[in-house]
Amino acid sequence: MKNKISTTFLLGVAICMFQPAFSGNGETKNNSNKPPQPFQFAEGVTMRDYEANTIVLKLKPEYRNLAQKNSINIAKLTGILSEIGAQDLHKIFPNHTAPDSRTPTDEMGHKFADITLIYKLNFTKGIAIEKAINQIIATGLVEYAEPYYIYHTFGEATTVEDVKNTLAAFNVNDPSLGQQYFIKKIKCPEAWGVNTTTARGDTNVVIGIVDTGTDLDHPDLKTKIKYNYNDPINGIDDDHDGYIDNFRGWDVSDNDNNPNVDNTTNIHGSHVSGCAAAATNNGVGVASPGFNCKFLPIKAAKKTTTGQIDNGFEAIVYGADHGCSVLNNSYGGPGAGQFGQDIITYAAINKKVLVVASAGNDNKDIVNYPAAYDYVLSIGATDQNDNKSSFSTFTNSVDVCAPGTAIYSTVYPKTYQLMDGTSMAGPITAGAAGIVKSFFPTYTGMQVGEQLRVTADDIYGVGSNKSYKDRLGTGRINLFRALTETTSPSVKMDPLKVTDGNDESFAIGDTLIIKGSLLNYLAATKNLTATLSTTNTDVTILNATINGGVINTMSKFDVDNTNGFKVLIKPSASLNEKILFKVSFADGSYSDRQYFTVIVNVDYINIDINDVSCTNTSRGRIGYNTTNLSEGGLGFNYNDTSSLVYEAGLMIGTSSTKVSDNLRSSSTASDTDFKSVQAVKRRIPTVKSDFETFGVFNDSGASSKIGVEVKHNTYAWTSAGDRKYIIYEYIIKNTSGSALTNLYAGLMVDWDVTALTSGNNKVGADVNNKLGYAYATTGSKLYGGVRVLTNGPFLNYGIDNVTGGAGGFDATTNFTTAEKYTALSTNRLTAGGTTPTGNDIMNVVSTGPFTISSNDTVKVAFAILAGDDLADLIKSSNNAQTKYDKVVTAISDVKLVNGFLLKQNYPNPVNAANTIIEFNLPAKAQAELSIYNTVGQKVMTVLNSQLNAGDHQVNLDVSNFNNGLYFYELTTGNNKAVMKMVIQK
């Protein structure tokens, strides 16, 4: 099974998506000192995948004493809830208690889930659900806020002809057994014949069926329901569990005690019930793998829907609380959030339940949820010949397969039918799991799942299955082997952590360390080895093997910086490259595997050391790496708010036909003029501030190129008075071959300053302080702004981002090149309409015009700021100006000696195989460039040549240099200039 950590984890600026095996810890990073990530929908999610105008949130535990059943007594949060029109706020699980803080984890180190602070609400204001969610996140009071996801079933009727089989081993007398090939395929008769008691199931082992309901009167089902004799149907909650008359299960969606399917169009759950637990050897109808195990019907579909699971997670909690050892979930979809993971963790870790879920019927290499959550046994489907079913999803997160094609089982009303789907493979596996739990009663749910997984039959040699290698799990389940083969271990690396031991940017030249723990769930290992591999040639594995040796049952072996895997990122790695790794486990005849992905050479860096946090990218965008939220970035946050900006970045223009940027051009598209030359890196050690980045891009992607190359730097400080801004500096070089005139450079920002809608902002300007700003007219009424720090004119163009433009140009559908140049080169000091509440706004803060000779440069710098009010914003902007004047510009990046210029190499520190050194000679001269170590020894003569006057560039190969401090020296005659260079590969 897989610890399918399918949500995205940010490690510094690198993203790691772990897909190790089922037995993972599921623990996400939760650093309360960092702003929460803004919400965004995952790829593939549509409106059918979540409940309209509905939000689920989890309050941070430090506010527990303010959390009531139907209210949260925190003014900051209730104010936001009021503004979005929140209704019916309520705890989803009001009768539960939080885990004991003295024992926060299970025996394997998995953290228990706290579901006591999870609320659900509806909102009535006509705003996008993303806006409403991000306003709740912006309070800093919640662990998460997200849509309430709904799912759809993975099964449908089939017209495949009946598949006959003959029976061996323990013979049962169900007359339709000949139509159930899967019973023999997974070796049920042989398993049932192992002994006469527990191998046929324990009636105290209950399989929960979370689905569209069941057929309470079906002759093959009604005797198998786990009846609650402590609460007979009498109108009283006799067992005091909060549910009146839940004698034969519960309908979670309609909140009543009738879990029967509603009609003949919604029979899915009745078929699934029989796949897992139809009465066996009763002389009626069909058999099931679960034999004597009981099942608990938990209906999670409203009467008004067909094939839609509305309340699956509440149903999972109900089943976990009401004695289920196994919970089957034959449904799913692309929607994923921390709420779902919390519920799975509660069932699997807190309650030791095996959660089984169908992988999906997409016939694609994709993930569906809940199957892809941590601690879920994900099930793919096969046919009667062990081929992958034509419809079955296949992916590295699938744990195991089971028959899912042409499955004959019970359906409402009191009849039988063939159906196809991973919806059928799931409950067949769940029924088998019930037998394993009966046979090994001390096993936890995860051990039951692992036992099925490690004893599955390898089917990769069947038909075309080899083309799905490792994406059908360990094979097709074999119940007989699961009961009789007990010598295999089952080892997973969990947790699995990736670090570079430094800035966590996973850059070219970095050595990654992969560490964590090797957990063993089953029989003790004797001489375990774990080996790391990849087919990707852009990394070199330096340490490929971990020797785990002997790891006892339910024990672990720690992997640290010393004995962990080590991987070098090579210069050939492309930007944002996903490296798929495989960990192979071996111990005698035991072998297993686990996959995870690391994204390396990321072309953006998050800056989050003070009260504002922001992202610098390699292509001139600020806040987000691509169009709002889609590929990483913090936005621009202040004091743990969600982002105050929707989109931001640099624009450079010389005319109404030539503006270069990577910002929106229309409501659905963006310009891609800037291309990275040197991906943004963090400078370590810093030279001028507490956090620095640098990089280079040009406008080679523009259809009408200006011809510029831009070196960019960012600076941030932690000192008092300097915590509310980040400085962005651009050195713009003219590479066009001729002089550039009328050049303006500025930052465009689409502000959403804590407004519930984009219609609650205004733009203003403080010309004396060269500050353009925006502020919210509702809610917290914060301010955000941009100040020009370099010499030159200040311009601020406010844009009313509304139809018609409110007196300016209309950028709502098309933001044209001419409009961009207008915004760069002219003033419109205010925006936001004439009403007190304002509207959706943007502004462009710029400076210019400049004339730049060929190969010459101009430097422009801006501070992007946030504040509690305008006075606070102005104060911080003045502090930024002081820092820039007295620190940034006072520490030179160049050495000027008697007319010749030696520049700071880049990148510096050097974390790649090469670095660039530039210098300028005022006249033709014999020039020598040499490298020295810290004790004055010459390491290399880079060049010693007669050179012409002008700019020169040297690409220095440092691949053979050791890490450390060096000096490079340029001499011409009696003139000498020296600068420092740090190599940190």
- Of 253, 378, 409, 423, the catalytic one is 423
Q: Is 41 helix (H, G, I), strand (E, B) or coil?
A: coil
- Of 110, 218, 268, 271, the catalytic one is 268
Asked if 142 contacts 59 with a C-beta cutoff of 8 angstroms, the reply is: yes
Asked if 47 contacts 53 with a C-beta cutoff of 8 angstroms, the reply is: no
Instruction: Please report where in the chains the tokens 């066996």 appear, as a residue.
Output: 280
> Taking the mean position of all CA atoms in its chain, how far away is CA 574?
21
Question: Which of 576, 563, 582, 573 has its CA nearest to residue 510?
Answer: 573
Rounded CA separation 775/285 (Å)? 70
Rounded CA separation 754/783 (Å)? 9
- The 8-class DSSP code of residue 200 comes to G
- The 8-class DSSP code of residue 47 comes to G
CA distances from 639 to 153, 506, 636, 704, 730 (A): 42, 27, 10, 40, 27
Asked if 85 contacts 124 with a C-beta cutoff of 8 angstroms, the reply is: yes
The residue type at 732: I
> Taking the mean position of all CA atoms in its chain, how far away is CA 335?
12
Rounded CA separation 235/525 (Å)? 54
The residue type at 749: V
Rounded CA separation 325/108 (Å)? 19
Instruction: Please report where in the chains the tokens 């702003």 appear, as a residue.
Output: 35
Rounded CA separation 165/179 (Å)? 7
Q: Output the DSSP codes for 90-152.
A: EESSTT--PPPTTS-B-TTSPBPP--TTEEEEEE-SSS-HHHHHHHHHTTS-EEEEEEEE-EE
- Of 114, 174, 202, 211, the catalytic one is 211
Rounded CA separation 68/292 (Å)? 43
> Taking the mean position of all CA atoms in its chain, how far away is CA 890?
41
Q: Is 693 helix (H, G, I), strand (E, B) or coil?
A: strand
Asked if 397 contacts 374 with a C-beta cutoff of 8 angstroms, the reply is: no
Evaluate the omega torsion of the peptide bond into residue 413 and state whether it is cis, within 30 degrees of 0: yes
Q: Is 487 exposed, middle or buried (0-12, 13-18, 19+ CB in 10 A)?
A: exposed
Put the strands of the sheet holding 975-983 in their side by side order.
938-947, 925-932, 964-972, 975-983
Asked if 19 contacts 5 with a C-beta cutoff of 8 angstroms, the reply is: yes
Q: How crowded is residue 277: how many other Cβ atoms within 10 Å of its Cβ? A: 35
Q: Is 665 a catalytic residue?
A: no
Q: Is 211 a catalytic residue?
A: yes
Question: Which of 759, 802, 613, 649 has its CA nearest to residue 131?
Answer: 759
Q: Is 955 helix (H, G, I), strand (E, B) or coil?
A: strand
Q: Which helix (H) or strand (E) holds 355?
A: strand 354-358
Q: Is 423 a catalytic residue?
A: yes
Contacts of 390 (CB under 8 A, 6+ apart): 363, 383, 405
CA distances from 566 to 237, 544, 581 (A): 59, 7, 12
Question: Which of 820, 793, 848, 859 has its CA nearest to residue 659?
Answer: 820
- E-strand spans in 444-489? none
- The 8-class DSSP code of residue 349 comes to I
- The 8-class DSSP code of residue 574 comes to P
Q: Is 557 helix (H, G, I), strand (E, B) or coil?
A: strand
Q: Is 73 exposed, middle or buried (0-12, 13-18, 19+ CB in 10 A)?
A: exposed
Catalytic residues: 211, 268, 423
